[in-house]
Amino acid sequence: MRILLIDDDEDLRNLLSRYIRGQWPDAQIDAYDPLERSIPDESFPLGSYDVLVLDYMLGRGDGLEWLKVLKQRADCPKVLFLTGAGNEIIAVRAMKAGADDYQRKQELTRDRLISSIRELTATEVERTVSPELAARMAGHSLGAKVHIPGIKVLHLIGEGGTARVYLASREDDDEPLVVKILRQEIVLNKKALERFMEEYSMVERLQSRHVARIIGHGAHQNNVYLVMEFFEGGDLSKRLAGKPVPPPEALKLFRELMFALGDIHEKGILHRDLKPQNLMFRRDGSLAIVDFGIAKDISAADRTGAGEVLGTPRYMSPEQVQGRALDLRTDIYSAGVLLYQMLTGRHLFDGETAMEVAMHHLNTQPAPLPEDLAHYQRLIDKLIEKDRDARFRNADEVIGFLARNFEQEKPEITQKLH
């Protein structure tokens, strides 16, 4: 394999080379420093490479301009474009200019780099034999097939139990957006689909800054899609990263979550699937909830989707575990579990299987908070009462409790993610 790395940063070139050689020891990697050389001209053997890794800021040059020029060449290899986090419009423009994949530079891990190069260089046989690659390829081709008026679907960026997730953009102004295309097993359940359409129509009309802005939803050739705002700050799981959040900041985020629940509950909508991956941050640090669990309880997909085996049961209310009718208090419980995790950096319950975790919600009294967090014990207790009649009844009650007991605790700074 031959790879060309164009980046103005020596350290990044060194690191990426190391990652690639760790995976493919025989790979030939050529580093190209744009501070010393201008854009490769016609005599440069671009076609001898399998992949070009191209940075978007090249010191004296503009990576996007280089991409446009190089992509006009018939011998241009597959391009992995490196963008800045929080600057998704660059990713949109790169994909429109012909990049084959993109990665956010600040979040580029060994695994992401290898996975991206593997995907770009896979042979037809490998794409068929590897279930993981085959699924990705199916995802890519699905994205290319779905036509949404005024929206361009650009690139598969994630796969969940209920939907595939794509980077997209508004054709008028390149504004980055997210398109989610529901999995067929959800679409084929007529009753569930009707409910999805009905409830997202309500969410779409909901004007709340604490809820993801839904730009539209619809269907194209049996594919049901949802178009929503892009969150440049990532999600709460990224911010947590297994560590606690300073209590004033945790309380601030929790308060925002309560405002969000207040807004949706007022419209008669339950979230039903609160978890760190569903709390997103905008560029300014504000929080919004996404991915209502509307389709979740009508499908087993969430329990079988990769990486989600334990995801949902960790935040389930006892009544969800029992399969009972749900009300506002189920979201209050899940929010309490999230607050516990933010404060302590630990899950409320652990277990080896999803069922074990779920059963803890029914039967196990959680360990008390550590001494330095004892101040929050009463709040946590009333959020995660197993008997929902003893829980806060709604988000307003929680907000009132916070105002009476924690009004002085304001975070020193609002953490922005970029």
Partner 1 sequence: MSADDYKVLVAKDIADLIPVFMKNRHKELEALRVALAAADFEQLRQLGHRMKGVGNSYGFNHVSILGKSIEDGAKSGDRAALAATITEYDDYLSKVQIAYE
Annotated catalytic sites, by residue?
273
Restricted to residues 72-101, the positions that interact with partner 1 (CB under 8 A) are 84
Say whether residue 27 binds partner 1 (CB under 8 A).
Answer: no
Contacts of 32 (CB under 8 A, 6+ apart): 4, 5, 6, 7, 40
Judged by beta carbon, residue 111 or residue 171, the one nearer partner 1 is 111
Out of 5, 6, 8, 295, point to the residue binding partner 1 (CB under 8 A).
8
Q: Whole-number minimum distance, CB 103 to partner 1, in Å? A: 11
Minimum CB distance to partner 1 smaller for 299 or for 344: 344
- Least Å from the CB of residue 63 to partner 1: 12
Nearer to partner 1, 9 or 397 (CB): 9
For residues 31 to 70, the per-residue mask of contacts with partner 1, x marking binding by CB under 8 A and - elsewhere, is --------------------------x-x-----------
CA angle 277, 283, 284 (to 5 degrees): 110
What is the rounded distance in angstroms from the CA atom of residue 280 to the CA atom of residue 210? Answer: 10
Asked if 232 and 88 count as a contact pair (C-beta separation under 8 A), the reply is: yes
Binder among 75, 107, 111, 132 for partner 1 (CB under 8 A): 107
C-alpha dihedral sign at 36, 40, 44, 46: positive
Pick the piece of the chain touching partner 1 (CB under 8 A) from 69-77, 104-112, 142-150, 381-389.
104-112
Within 206-225, which residues bind partner 1 (CB under 8 A)? none
Distances (CA, A) of 328 to 212, 272, 408: 19, 9, 28
| Of residues 80 and 224, the one with the C-beta less far from partner 1 | 80
Q: Which is nearer to partner 1, 303 or 346 (CB)?
A: 346
- Does the protein bind partner 1 through residue 22 (CB under 8 A)? yes
Beta bridge partners of 32: 6
Residues β-bridged to residue 180: 165, 226
Among 38, 48, 72, 106, binds partner 1 (CB under 8 A): 106
Q: Which stretch binds partner 1 (CB under 8 A): 15-23, 210-218, 247-255, 362-370?
A: 15-23
Question: Nearest CA to 373 among 381, 365, 384, 363?
Answer: 381
CB atoms within 10 A of CB 356: 14
Q: Is 4 left (phi over 0), alpha (psi -120 to 50) or beta?
A: beta
Our measurement of the distance from residue 199's CA atom to the centroid of its chain's CA atoms, rounded to an integer in Å, reads 21
Could you write out the DSSP letters of every residue in 70-89? Answer: HHTSTT--EEEEEE-TT-HH
CB–CB of 314/357 below 8 Å?
yes
> What gap in Å lies between CA 213 and CA 83, rounded to an integer?
24
Q: Which stretch binds partner 1 (CB under 8 A): 106-114, 163-171, 204-212, 356-364?
A: 106-114
Tell me how far, at minimum, the Cβ of 97 lies from partner 1, in Å. Answer: 20
246 forms part of the interface with partner 1 (CB under 8 A):
no
- Tokens 């018939």 sit on residue: 74
Q: Which of 15, 133, 137, 326 binds partner 1 (CB under 8 A)?
A: 15
Residue 107 vs 126, nearer CB to partner 1: 107
Smallest gap from residue 306 Cβ to partner 1 (A):
24
Told to check if 414 binds partner 1 by CB under 8 A, we report no
The site that binds partner 1 (CB under 8 A) totals a number of residues, namely 17
Integer Cα distance of 347 and 152 in angstroms: 39
Structure tokens, 53: 């890794």
Encoded tokens for 291: 């991915």
Question: Given the complex with partner 1, which of 81 and 406 has the nearer CB atom?
Answer: 81
Minimum separation from the CB atom of position 135 to partner 1 (A): 28
Q: How far apart, in whole angstroms, are the C-alpha atoms of residue 321 and residue 333? A: 12
- Binding residues (CB under 8 A) for partner 1: these are 8-12, 14-15, 18, 22, 57, 59, 84, 105-108, 418
